[in-house]
Amino acid sequence: MTGFFSTGTLYKPFTSFRVNPSKFQGKPFEVSGNVMADIVLTDANFDEEVLKSDIPVLVDFYAEWCPPCKMLGPIIEELATEYQGKAKVCKLNVDQSQATASRYGIMSLPTIYFFKGGQPVKSLVGIQSKENFKTELDQLV
Q: Where are the domains of the chain?
A: 33-140
Give this prediction's pTM. 0.74
pLDDT at 73: 94
For the cut 70, the answer to whether the pLDDT of residue 1 exceeds it is no
pLDDT band at residue 5, thresholds of 50, 70 and 90? very low
The string of pLDDT tens digits covering residues 63-96 is 999 999 999 999 999 999 999 999 999 999 999 9
Kindly tell me the burial class for residue 81, based on how many C-beta atoms sit within 10 Å of its own C-beta (0-12, 13-18, 19 or more): exposed
Kindly indicate whether the domain formed by 33-140 is annotated with CATH number 3.40.30.10: yes
For the cut 80, the answer to whether the pLDDT of residue 44 exceeds it is yes
Task: Give catalytic residues, as residue numbers.
Answer: 66, 69
For the cut 50, the answer to whether the pLDDT of residue 23 exceeds it is no
DSSP state of 32: -
The residues facing 61 across adjacent strands are 92, 111
For the cut 80, the answer to whether the pLDDT of residue 7 exceeds it is no
Distance (Å, rounded) from C-alpha 130 to C-alpha 76? Answer: 8
Distance (Å, rounded) from C-alpha 120 to C-alpha 4? Answer: 40
